[in-house]
Structures are given as C-alpha cells and as structure tokens.
Structure 1
Amino acid sequence: MAALKYWVWLTTLPGLTNRSKLLLLEHFPSPEDIYYAQPEDLPPVEGLSSSQAALLSDKSTDRAEDVLARCAKGDIFLLTMQDALYPDRLRNIYDPPVPLYGRGRMPLFDEEAAVSVVGTRTCTPYGISAAEELGYQLAKEGAVVVSGLARGIDGASHRGALRAGGFTAAVLGGGVDVVYPAENRRLYEDIAATGVLLSEYPPGTEPMGSHFPVRNRILSGLSLAVLVVEAPERSGALITANTALEQGRDVFAVPGPIDAPNSRGSNRLIRDGAGLVTCGWDILEGYRSRFPHRLRPSPENLPPVPEQDSLPAQRAEESSTAKPEKKETPPALPVLDLTADTAGLTDDQIRILQVLTTDAPLLTDDVAERADLPIRRVLSALTVLEIDGYATQHGARRFVRTVEIRL
C-alpha cells in the first residue's frame, strides 16, 4: 500500500502529462524515488520541460490517499506498470497508461485473443444488429471482446459477448466507479460482475470529451485486432483504427450500403486494405494457430464432412471390417457425503453443487437462476468450489461438478 501511494501521487499530479510520467519512470527506479528527489537531483530528462519538472515540488499525498480510499471502498483494483497482471501488449505501445484502475476480474490479456469492437454512437439498426451478433460470435468462439461501453456499437458488442457467456472488457473515459452513459447502468453492472471495467483515470473522474480519443489507444493496445462495425467519415472509431495500425494491430471492418453515411468510414477502411468481416471467424481464423486451446469455430464455420462414398475404396473397406474399439469406462467420481458433515461448505455452495451436473457444463447465469441466488454470490461460491476441487470450469463461465454428492 505504501508503494502504491507514490504511484498514485505521481499519476495524479495536476498538469503532468502521461508522457512526462513515463519519461520520469525511465530515469528513476520507482515513483518513491521521484517523490524524494530534490530539484537539484533531477537529471535532465529529454522531453520534460522545466515547468513540468517544477510540478514535482508538490509533495502532498492527500489526493493519493483519497484515491486509495475510494479504491478500497469501491472494490477497485489498481495495476502499475510493474505488476505481473499489467499486459505486455499494453506496456509495449508508445504511450501506455501508467496506472490501470479496474473493477471485476483482470484476465491475462497476453494469453487471450482479444478483439476490440468499435463504431459510432449514432448507429443504425443494421449497425446494432451486426455489432451484437459479431460480439456474440467472437465470444462464443473464444475471444475476449473489448469495447468502450458507449451507447451504440460499443454497448451492442458487449451485450452480444455477455449473451454468449463470454468475457468482455470495457475501457472507460472516466473513473471505473462512474457509470456513463446512464442508460448502460445494467450493462455496466453485468460487466463488473462477469468481466472487467478498466480506466487510466482515478475513481470519481467524470467522463470528458477529451478523454475518449485518448482512451482509444488502450482499446487497441489490449487487443490483437480492431473491428470497425459502422463508422461515418469523421468518427472516433476511425481514430481507434488508425491507432491500431500505428501499434501494429490488425484492422477489420464490416461493409455497409454504399450510400449509407454511417458506413462511409468503414467502407473506406476496406477499400484501403482492412479485412472485410461478415462473421466472427473471419477475424479469429488467422489467430487460431497462436491460441489453439482458446479459439474454436462455430459449427457453421467447420469444413464439411466428406461423404462415405467419397472415401477411397480401401479406406471404406477397412472401415467396414474394422472391429469396434472397446470404450473405456470413465473412472468413478469421488463421493462427497454431506449427510453427516457439510465439509465446511456454506449453504450457497451446497445449493450450487446440487444444481451442477457432472457431464453438462452450466453457464453461471443458469446456475444463478436454478439456485435462485444473486450472480455475485454464485461467482464467489464457484471460485471456492473450484479451489477445493468440487467443481471445474469448462470454457468461459461454464462449470461442472467433479464429485458425486450424498445429501
């Protein structure tokens, strides 16, 4: 906590740009060393003006202590660039955010096929439909869907990912404890419960127009690719696409009618070389070899099974004469006898064990519905059950029971 105080002190100094903070961190081992450095000890830092260096004379930690108190109260985590959970993908862009505040569960982004889905807020019904369907497909096929929780395309892509039972990350233009826009409150709560909300701005920061173009570099920085669903000629989504190209990310776009104003920007991206997308697998197929255990095509994207009579005659003959293989009987599951002793399990955990099956993975939402429990309590109980070896996860947010129970 003491070390975090100096990170927050540095990153909340009024007037100090993110780039200035990065330059200082290149010259000092830690923010604590910057805090205790005297003006005469400050080395000449290329790109840091004397007026910016003078800001370091403000040694008050009141702002930092207030931010840390908000984090503790609001169940908000703080990642610094020295933390293992801070993604290398993001650390290696030109202007990475020095801190990352978050609510929810931070995934290992470097091990995920993350795709940012962006587009205009003033979208058409076609754009909403395409964004939700593509968010659903990407999540269903194993990708993490990243977007900005704005109205329009952003919100639709998040909803699609959640509908698929997948993981989605929202990068905000204000503090992670500030819901914006208000109409997305329920979506905000769903993502906080099952995904992650991220921001470089401290808790309590109200969204400002200038924040959104800046946060776009984080959207693309966390991802392998950016998908533009619907964007007019002047659109923040095009800024994200250009930033993605500068970061070496892939850019894709959904085509739209040639006379539709909201599709002029995305159509132009395709004309200039962006990948044309009609389904999620158009994007993910290129990453399958890198993430073989993450990505799986939907049945409609699998190659057709050859007809029996199209097999060579020899293979067909061998197939007809071969002896059927003896199926192995799966080993019996261990028995958890709760008739006399609850084994330290809570009522919630026992109820969830009764709901789970040993062969058909259930989504956490379905578990919550069948157990008649709030999703937050279900997620907490499942975590403990998984640690204790009584349940295991199969894919994104799907669980099975690993023991037979007696009640």
Structure 2
Amino acid sequence: MASLKYWVWLSSLSGIGAYRANRLLERFGSPEQIYFAEENDYGELYGLRKNEISALSDKNLLGAKKILEDCAELGYRILTIYDGEYPARLGSISDPPVVLYVRGQLPVLDEEAAVAVVGTRNCTPYGIKAAERIGYELSRHGCLVVSGLARGIDTAAAKGALRAGGRVVGVVGAGLDIVYPPENRQLYDDVAGIGAIISEYPPGTPAAGEHFPQRNRVLSGISVGVAVVEAPLRSGALITASLALDQGRDVFALPGNVDSPSCEGSNQLLREGAVFITSGMEIAQEYEALFPDKIQSVRIKVPLDEKQADKLIGNIKAQIRQKPTKKEIDNDKIVEYIDLVQLKEHLNEDEFAVIAAIGSQTKHIDEIIAACELGANEVLSALTILEIDGYIEQIKGKYFRLLYEQKKR
C-alpha cells in the first residue's frame, strides 16, 4: 500500500480532479508511481494539459504532510479508493474521489439501503415537514439516510432520521472541520456521534459553490436511491437526481403544490418518470427484497375504529397515571394496535396527553386543547410531531384522528 502522503498529494493537486486522478491510477497503478514519474512520462498520456503536467511535476509534500497532521489531531480517518472499506458502490461511478476524509464511524455502505434525501435550501413549511417525516420513516424502516447537511430539506431529513434513532451519513462540500451552514454545528456533532460525515476535501477547505456539484455525485454515488422532496427548476437537487440516473440509481420525488415555484423541479421529475412517493415507507418498500436483513417490516397506517381506540386510550391513560414498566405494557393485544412500548420511549407527556384527548373520535383542535389542559402552543407542537411520526392524521378543517399500524400483507 502506497503511503497515505502520496494519496493526499495526488488528491490535493490543483487542476487534477477526480476523473483525471483515476485515469492516472489506471495508467501508473499507484499514487507513489505517479509521484516518482518523470515529466516526460506524463507527457505520453493522451489528453493531459500543460497545467496538469505542471501540477504533477510539483513534488512538494509539505502540504500533504500538513493535511495528515491535521487529520491525526482532529481524529479524522482517511480512506483511499484502494482500501477495502471504501464503498464499492461509490467506486463504480466514473469519477469517484480517490480519497475520502471521514469523521465518525462509517457504516459498511454497500450493505445498507442508503437513500439520499435532497431538496432546496429555501424550502416551504410543507417541505420541512415532509422531509423530516420521510427521514424519520426511512430510518424507522431500516434505511440509512444520506444527507448533504445543507440548510433546508437536507437538515430536516437528517433531523428526522436522528429522531427515529437511526444513523445518518453526511456528505459535505468542505473540509470536515468547516461547518456549513454555521448553525448546523450541533447537527454535525449528532450525525458524527452515531454515524459519519465524509468529504473529499481536506481539513481547512472552505465551502465553495463549485464544490457542491462534486459533493452531489458522492451523495448519489453511495446511495441506492435519491428522494427529491422539494426542488425548484434551478436546484442542486435536480443535479443530484440527474447524476443518480447516470449512475443507475433510483430516483423518487414527492409531489408538490403545482402553483409553488419551489416544487416545479420535483414535479417535473415526476413527469419525466421519477417514482411517485408520499412517504418514506413507500421508498423502504422498494428495497425490502434487496435488503431483507435491513428493512424492517413495512406497515400500513389506517384509522382506528372506535373499539380499538377505546382500548388504546384506556392503556395510554393508565400509562400517564401509573408510568408502568415495559413488562407491564408489552403484550400482544396492545402491540397489535400500536406499539405502546415505542410510545413510552419516544413520546413525551404532552404527546401522550394529546393522544388521550383525541380518544376514539375525530376531534377538532379546540376540543383537544380543552381536553388536554395544556397551552395552545404545547398542543400544536405535540400535534405536529405526532402527525410527522404517523400516530395521527389531520383531516379537513383542523380535525384529527388516531392511526394504528397494521402489518403489510
């Protein structure tokens, strides 16, 4: 194995992109051989421009050594395209990064139903809610969410997946030590804490516009599918979708308001043949056969009838009063309607109270607020989370009803 310093030298050369670096590796066999080649050897290669030959002739390794020192200090790993841990899925594209910098624990991506969730930075409340729900559902059903960690849809999808207790792999267009956007520092920490963030750019590289199209090919390259949640016609998400098609990946799109410019791109993808989706569960269904050990049993949510709801509400109210242990509430009849163990682990007291207030009937928001004895803001917040998580649904006129999960047959 060639020394890492030669890999870092090759990947950091100005004017030598990933495509050219891969062609050089095919010709010379290793970055070390590329480094020790003579200028005349480079000149024999068809298509190399003068500035590229000049870059390759610069044998200064100080920059590469500094990058290695920075990675060691910051705790980042370096994967080369020749490493066994390098994702074969990514290596199969035409221009894979020859080096990946890794923060956190990178899953074995080739064994994961990895789905990139992408969309506009300037998204609507509809887009935020939908992206968070899709990220949550993908994670709950065993898919690995891939995110660019950008503002807007990327952030919402990543947060949804984390809220479900799943891992996220972030792909960024800057050095791993550069948080972009700055307000996502906590999100970066959360993602790296249980998943990983990867970049082809060394530490200290600032976020730049030209980096993001390159980042997008990695997003789709490590994934089996790309879900476009909300995107205008001129959007990086559409670039990612186009790259995904070129790479042989699946493309999914969520329909949006036909009058909204922020949805024109995603709606166009549907006209062009993208797979129509309304939930993360529908994406997970596509990969059940390919990843049977990863994808959890996909469930279909249907409204509770009055008898089922009464049984559920009675048990929930008992939990609120008595706070029973898992053993006391974990029985087949209750789980048949809704997993109360899961409720106990994932819902707070306000959310429990809202479910109890809705009961077996369809209730207007004003009735729910009155029954909960909570403030309007607390109830609205709980309703939003419960709807995202799929425990309730809103029907016309601010009315809500409970849902339960039924195994797909």
Q: What 5-or-longer segments of structure 2 have no aligned partner? A: 303-326, 331-340, 346-409
Q: CA RMSD for the aligned pairs? A: 2.0
CA distance in 1, matches of 2:193, 2:281: 27
CA distance in 1, matches of 2:134, 2:252: 12
Deviations 1:137-157 (A, max 9, x none): 000100110010001000000
CA distance in 1, matches of 2:266, 2:42: 47
Q: Is this contact kept in 2: 1:136–1:161, CA < 8 A?
A: yes
Summarize the alignment of residues 76-155 of structure 1 with structure 2, pairs less than 5 Å apart: 76-155=76-155
The aligned amino acid for 1:8 is: V
Q: Is this contact kept in 1: 2:42–2:48, CA < 8 A?
A: no
* TM-score of the pair, normalised by structure 1: 0.73
Summarize the alignment of residues 165-204 of structure 1 with structure 2, pairs less than 5 Å apart: 165-204=165-204
* TM-score of the pair, normalised by structure 2: 0.72
The SS at the match of 2:223 is coil
Q: CA deviation at 1:227?
A: 0.3
Q: CA deviation at 1:298?
A: 4.2
Q: Is this contact kept in 2: 1:281–1:301, CA < 8 A?
A: no
Q: CA deviation at 1:190?
A: 0.4
2:65 counterpart of 1:68: no
Q: Is this contact kept in 2: 1:284–1:295, CA < 8 A?
A: yes
Deviations 1:238-289 (A, max 9, x none): 0100110111111000111111111111111111111111111211212111
Q: Is this contact kept in 1: 2:2–2:31, CA < 8 A?
A: no
The residue aligned with 1:248 is: 248
The more displaced of 215-224 and 277-286 is 277-286
The aligned amino acid for 1:16 is: I
Deviations 1:63-90 (A, max 9, x none): 0010001100111010000001111111
The aligned amino acid for 1:6 is: Y
Q: Is this contact kept in 2: 1:23–1:48, CA < 8 A?
A: no
CA distance in 2, matches of 1:270, 1:57: 48
Q: Is this contact kept in 1: 2:43–2:53, CA < 8 A?
A: no
CA distance in 2, matches of 1:173, 1:227: 19
CA distance in 1, matches of 2:4, 2:21: 15
The aligned amino acid for 2:160 is: G
The residue aligned with 1:217 is: 217
Q: CA deviation at 1:43?
A: 6.4
2:34 counterpart of 1:34: yes
CA distance in 2, matches of 1:40, 1:262: 52
The SS at the match of 2:227 is strand
Q: CA deviation at 1:301?
A: 5.9
Summarize the alignment of residues 4-403 of structure 1 with structure 2, pairs less than 5 Å apart: 4-42=4-42, 44-300=44-300
Higher helix fraction: Structure 1 or Structure 2?
A: 2
Deviations 1:305-334 (A, max 9, x none): xxxxxxxxxxxxxxxxxxxxxxxxxxxxxx
CA distance in 1, matches of 2:261, 2:45: 47
Q: Is this contact kept in 1: 2:284–2:298, CA < 8 A?
A: no
The SS at the match of 2:264 is helix
The SS at the match of 2:100 is strand
Q: CA deviation at 1:27?
A: 0.7
The aligned amino acid for 1:36 is: F
Q: Is this contact kept in 1: 2:19–2:94, CA < 8 A?
A: no
The residue aligned with 1:324 is: none
The SS at the match of 1:209 is coil
The aligned amino acid for 1:283 is: I
CA distance in 2, matches of 1:18, 1:33: 17
The residue aligned with 2:355 is: none
Work out the number of aligned pairs and report it.
Answer: 308
The aligned amino acid for 1:229 is: V
The SS at the match of 2:3 is helix
The aligned amino acid for 2:185 is: R
CA distance in 1, matches of 2:53, 2:19: 13
CA distance in 1, matches of 2:261, 2:245: 24
CA distance in 2, matches of 1:54, 1:156: 44
Q: Is this contact kept in 2: 1:116–1:147, CA < 8 A?
A: yes
Q: What 5-or-longer segments of structure 1 have no aligned partner? A: 303-356, 367-407
CA distance in 2, matches of 1:143, 1:17: 31
The aligned amino acid for 1:124 is: T
CA distance in 2, matches of 1:41, 1:223: 37
Q: CA deviation at 1:39?
A: 2.0
The SS at the match of 1:226 is strand
CA distance in 2, matches of 1:83, 1:2: 11
Q: Is this contact kept in 1: 2:172–2:198, CA < 8 A?
A: yes
CA distance in 1, matches of 2:165, 2:48: 46
The residue aligned with 1:350 is: none
The aligned amino acid for 1:148 is: G
The aligned amino acid for 1:49 is: R
Deviations 1:35-73 (A, max 9, x none): 111223446223322431222221111000100011001
CA distance in 2, matches of 1:301, 1:167: 24
CA distance in 2, matches of 1:33, 1:70: 25
Deviations 1:283-304 (A, max 9, x none): 12121111111001343369xx
